[in-house]
């Protein structure tokens, strides 16, 4: 029987916006990248669509505009995009292609008004409507914005629009501590919750896009935006909040954690129940092991596929614990086959190849390696065989150290 190892990817870096087509009555405001758009005349609502003076919106979005009074035609150009509208016509052209309009460009009180959503989206921006305050929010291409620059619950939403579909990295950093998440834009839109788990204070937020296509997280990234945000939540939520690959805020994860632990009397019983459930229900992904093409499993990936490699086991274990308020680390490091004669003196392993967990029960960090307690690969058939063990559940740390060595960056502070 062969013990299970995996490669750990070292990460040196680390929304769908709902648009509503019904507009409220009253004073209408338009914001561009979070700033109120100053207009020469007030925005108006025509048939449920917001129109604004043409020069105000085109200037705000960085487009040059030309007016032909003889044909009553508006032509705007930005970064190679060409928009042509004619007053009263329900057809417009974007780069020579005709598009039907919901509402026409029109003259109102001797001002030329154009439909704000059509103009902004034609220039690559994202548009949303807030019915609570009658505000059209426009986010320019390659711009992101926060729900608020200050949070009182260690969480805020981030949304934006980017060019391309390459992997996007979001990081929130406080001193040497970094929370990170990766996501793939959906039709150029990014949207996610950002968590600030390291207590109150100022955080630097970074948004970057990978230069090359693909989901491999290593590579070169280009900065898109960088901000500062303030967390006024005084709780220490380290190792409790969701992070990349650990979706402890997923309702599916929350419901499962509650179900697994519903008959448990204390946190130690809960962590043992979670350990046993994972070890008995998640198989090791032997095909990935043999292929050498290692993919990082998130907690939801492991749960949905019913299989994982060590990182996926550790992520799922962390997510289930955090979902019920138990602090849990994912620890990466080197593991060796000590029971087959491999020691720290004769091993050739020099890079991280394994992941496990440490769970805070009371004042003590309990070690768990669910991967090695779930079973092993039959060396004859190359098939995984479930075999629940507790050898690596809360072991003596000195004994555990015979075949596990955490990276320095993962040791307890």
Is the pTM above the cut of 0.85?
Answer: no
Q: How far apart are CA 177 and CA 197, in angstroms?
A: 9
Whether the pLDDT of residue 12 is over 50: the answer is no
Lowest mean pLDDT among 267-276, 326-335, 341-350: 341-350
Among 9-13, 180-184, 294-298, 341-345, the minimum mean pLDDT is found in 9-13
DSSP 8: P
Percentage of the chain exceeding pLDDT 90: 57
The helix (run of H) or strand (run of E) holding residue 201 is: strand 201-210
Output the six-digit token pair for 313.
């086991």
- What is the DSSP code (8-state) at residue 270? H
Tokens of 221: 């990234």
State the average pLDDT for the chain: 86
User: Residue 394 gets which letter from DSSP?
Assistant: S
pLDDT value for 282: 97
What are the φ/ψ torsions at residue 275 (nearest 5 degrees)?
-55, -50
Predicted local distance difference test score (pLDDT) of residue 250: 94
SS3 content of the chain, % helix, strand, coil (to 5): 20, 35, 45
Distances (CA, A) of 331 to 11, 259, 404: 14, 26, 10
Task: Say if residues 210 and 167 touch (Cβ distance below 8 Å).
Answer: yes
Contact 359, 314 (CB under 8 A): no
Who's near 411: CB < 8 A, 6+ residues apart?
A: none
Sheet containing 189-195, strands listed edge to edge, beginning at the edge strand earlier in sequence: 143-146, 155-161, 189-195
pLDDT at residue number 293? 73
Which residue from 107, 123, 110, 106 is spatially nearest to 58, judged by alpha carbons? Answer: 123
Which DSSP category does 95 fall into? Answer: T
In angstroms, rounded to a whole number, what is the distance separating the alpha carbons of residues 105 and 46? 10
Calpha distance 329→324 (Å, rounded):
14
Instruction: Please tell me which residue, 275 or 413, carries the higher pLDDT value.
Output: 275
Most confident listed range (146-160, 229-243, 280-294): 229-243
Per-residue model confidence (pLDDT) at position 22: 31
Q: How far apart are CA 177 and CA 141, in angstroms?
A: 30
Flag whether pLDDT at 412 surpasses 60: no
d(CA 103, CA 113): 11
Q: pLDDT class for 138, splitting at 50, 70, 90? A: confident
Average confidence (pLDDT) over 317-327? 97
Question: What is the model's pLDDT at position 216?
Answer: 81
DSSP string, 276-301: HHHHHH-EE-HHHHHH----PPPHHH
Q: Are 282 and 301 in contact (CB under 8 A)?
A: no
Q: Cα–Cα–Cα angle for 296, 299, 304, nearest 5°?
A: 100
In the predicted model, what is the mean pLDDT of residues 143-166?
A: 76
Structure-token pair, residue 124: 């690559």
- Which tens digit of pLDDT belongs to each residue from 51-98? 999 999 999 888 899 989 899 999 999 877 899 999 999 999 999 889
**Phi, then psi, of 82 in degrees rounded to 5:** -120, 125
What is the band of 147 on the pLDDT scale with cuts at 50, 70, 90?
low
Domains and CATH numbers, the chain: 29-130 (3.30.457.10), 143-231 (2.60.40.10), 251-410 (3.10.620.30)
What span, in angstroms and rounded, lies between the C-alpha atoms of 38 and 47? 23
pLDDT band at 408 (very low <50, low <70, confident <90, very high): low
* Residue in this structure with the two tokens 């048939």, named with its chain if needed: 47
What pLDDT shows up at residue 79?
77
């Amino acid at each position: 029987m062969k013990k299970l190892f995996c490669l750990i990817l070292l990460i040196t870096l680390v929304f769908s916006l709902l648009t509503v087509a019904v507009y409220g009555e009253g004073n209408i405001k338009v914001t561009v990248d979070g700033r109120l758009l100053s207009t020469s005349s007030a925005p108006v609502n025509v048939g449920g669509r917001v129109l604004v003076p043409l020069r105000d919106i085109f200037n705000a979005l960085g487009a040059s505009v030309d007016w032909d009074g003889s044909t009553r035609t508006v032509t705007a150009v930005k970064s190679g995009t060409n928009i042509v509208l004619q007053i009263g016509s329900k057809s417009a052209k974007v780069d020579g292609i005709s598009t039907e309009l919901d509402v026409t460009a029109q003259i109102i009180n001797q001002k030329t008004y154009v439909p704000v959503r059509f103009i902004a989206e034609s220039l690559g921006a994202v548009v949303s409507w807030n019915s609570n305050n009658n505000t059209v929010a426009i986010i320019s291409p390659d711009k992101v914005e926060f729900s608020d620059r200050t949070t009182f619950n260690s969480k805020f939403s981030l949304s934006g629009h980017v060019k391309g579909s390459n992997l996007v990295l979001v990081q929130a950093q406080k001193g040497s501590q970094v929370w990170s998440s990766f996501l793939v834009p959906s039709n150029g839109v990014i949207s996610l919750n950002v968590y600030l788990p390291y207590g109150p204070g100022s955080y630097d937020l970074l948004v970057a896009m990978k230069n090359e296509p693909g989901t491999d997280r290593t590579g070169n990234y280009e900065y898109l935006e960088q901000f500062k945000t303030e967390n006024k939540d005084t709780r220490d939520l380290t190792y409790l909040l969701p992070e990349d690959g650990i979706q402890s805020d997923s309702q599916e994860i929350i419901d499962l954690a509650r179900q697994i632990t519903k008959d448990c009397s204390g946190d130690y019983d809960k962590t043992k129940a979670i350990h046993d459930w994972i070890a008995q229900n998640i198989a090791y992904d032997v095909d990935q092991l043999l292929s050498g093409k290692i993919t990082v499993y998130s907690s939801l990936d492991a749960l949905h596929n019913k299989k994982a490699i060590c990182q996926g086991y550790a992520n799922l274990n962390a997510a289930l614990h955090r979902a019920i308020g138990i602090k849990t680390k994912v620890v990466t490091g080197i593991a060796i086959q000590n029971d087959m004669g491999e020691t720290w003196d004769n091993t050739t392993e020099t890079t991280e190849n394994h992941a496990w967990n440490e769970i805070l029960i009371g004042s003590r960090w309990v070690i768990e390696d669910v991967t090695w307690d779930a079973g092993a690969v039959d060396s004859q058939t190359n098939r995984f065989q479930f075999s629940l063990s507790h050898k690596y559940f809360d072991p003596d740390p000195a004994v555990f150290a015979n075949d596990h060595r955490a990276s320095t960056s993962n040791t307890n502070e």
